[in-house]
Amino acid sequence: MDMIDPFGRTISYLRVSVTDRCDFRCTYCMAEDMAFLPKKDLLSLEELDRLCTVFIEKGVRKLRLTGGEPLVRKNIMHLVRQISRHLESGALEELTLTTNGSQLSRFAADLADCGVKRINVSLDTLDPEKFRQITRWGNLDKVMDGIDAAQAAGLKVKLNAVALKDFNDAELPEMLRWAHGRGMELTVIETMPMGEIDADRTDQYLPLSLLRAALERQFTLTDIPYKTGGPARYVHVAETGGRLGFITPMTHNFCESCNRVRLTCTGTLYMCLGQEDAADLRAPLRASEGNELVADAIDEAIGRKPKGHDFIIDRRTNRPSVSRHMSVTGG
């Protein structure tokens, strides 16, 4: 039942955006005055569980819940508990979560109880004022408390930092030392041209090739074949003993090995983060109590999965490559 796309890639990883809403307004991700989806347009938690189950039956082995901020979705732990039955049966190998950390103090122990072993926390700076600036109204102390709670619950934490020119680039060496000192991995990510924001992305964009060169003036970085199922390429950092990941959609895309599709909270399936083409799964889901129509719609969509994305950031291209914001598809 494995899902194979037109380029022979096996689709085994589903990212599910359970909400487009977020309690932050990160400047590279969304506009300050965002218009979110009406709640009536969202799939119910039961419908999300049903869709996830169909994907698992069709070969998905890793499932990541994203947002927006997934932990602001009402009764989100009900969905996590439902999906966790597939961990218990062995049908699903891993259930993970990407979060901004603001709600982790409330939910970390429950996530661990449901079989979640590791999570990604998005954190771009350790400076409280810069943190408030980049998130517009986030509280760094709450995120730090959340990371403490996650580690206390036994969750493995990986930090994701978007590399932003003249904002956090000089701070990333210290973030690396801090993360590795606490037993956490760090992955740095190039900003992507998704959705209209209030800033010029050409002013934010930092090629990770330049960042790596700067880091190598302080650290000994050795390429390693380590993989987590996502797009990051990893290096071992001799001075800290930890791993550092690079996600480079702009300078060196990872499309040739893409094993991922993305499901939104409205039941829209995006076969590529950097393309507009999508498939509606909500209509076939609601048209029948059985899952045959949904399964057929998924097969048809996988048959249209493109070879890669068309992301561009330069001074000549003022419009985003895709119109939807990152918060719609969850990265």
48-87 confidence digits (pLDDT tens)? 999 999 999 999 999 999 999 999 999 999 999 999 999 9
pLDDT band at 287; cut points 50, 70, 90: very high
Mean of the pLDDT values across residues 7-30?
Answer: 90
Please give the residue that has the higher pLDDT: either 67 or 228.
67
Q: How far is CA 272 from the centre of its chain?
A: 13
Task: Retrieve residue 79's tokens.
Answer: 């969905």
Please report, rounded to a whole number, the percentage of residues in the chain having pLDDT higher than 90. 70
Helices 140-152 and 104-113, packing angle to 10 deg = 20
pLDDT of residue 308: 75
Annotated binding residues for [4Fe-4S] cluster, as ranges? 22, 26, 29, 255, 258, 272
- Strands (E) located in 25-114: 62-66, 94-99
Distances (CA, A) of 234 to 105, 178, 184, 191, 244: 29, 18, 14, 18, 6
What are the respective helix, strand and coil percentages of the chain, to the nearest 5?
Answer: 35, 20, 45
Mean pLDDT of the chain: 88
Annotated binding residues for GTP, as ranges? 15, 64, 98, 158, 260-262
pTM to 2 decimals? Answer: 0.86
Annotated binding residues, as ranges? 15, 22, 26, 28-29, 64, 68, 98, 122, 158, 192, 255, 258, 260-262, 272
Asked if pLDDT for residue 96 goes beyond 80, the answer is yes
Annotated binding residues for S-adenosyl-L-methionine, as ranges? 28, 68, 122, 192
